[in-house]
Amino acid sequence: MPACIRSAQKLHILFSMTIDERLEALKRSLELWSQMRTAARKEYEEWSRSLDEMLCANEESSHANKEPSHANEEPPHANEEPFRGNEERLAQLMDTKARLGRILEKHGQRLDNLESH
């Protein structure tokens, strides 16, 4: 079925709905949006928690590797080149996490404002 016919059918359905039916559809849409927001917040918190755990584990392992156990070993900074890319990616992940947190907070505020009206 062509898109123009589907659009015309949707418009016909929309205009043939009563105010009560429209309000009910809007209410269901708002409930669905709220559930999606809750699920997204939970997923973000789990992702954030796992990222924090990964960062803590990375810091602990880097502290353990900084103490040379033998006098013959190279200083810890001599072999940092392979890890520089990881540090850059980790910094990007942290930046992304911060931006996603701000976006989630703003969306939450918008939803709270919509729910209160």
pLDDT in tens, 36-92: 888 888 888 888 888 888 888 877 777 666 555 555 555 555 556 666 677 778 888
CB atoms within 10 A of CB 107: 14
Q: What is the DSSP letter of 1?
A: -
Q: Which pLDDT score, from 0 to 100, does residue 1 have? A: 64
Rounded to an integer, what distance in angstroms lies between the CA atom of residue 81 and that of residue 62? 14
pTM equals 0.38
Query: DSSP for 68-82?
Result: -SSTTSPPGGGG-HH
Least confident of 5-14, 26-35, 47-56, 90-99: 5-14
Rounded to an integer, what distance in angstroms lies between the CA atom of residue 116 and that of residue 109? 10
Q: How many residues does the chain have?
A: 117
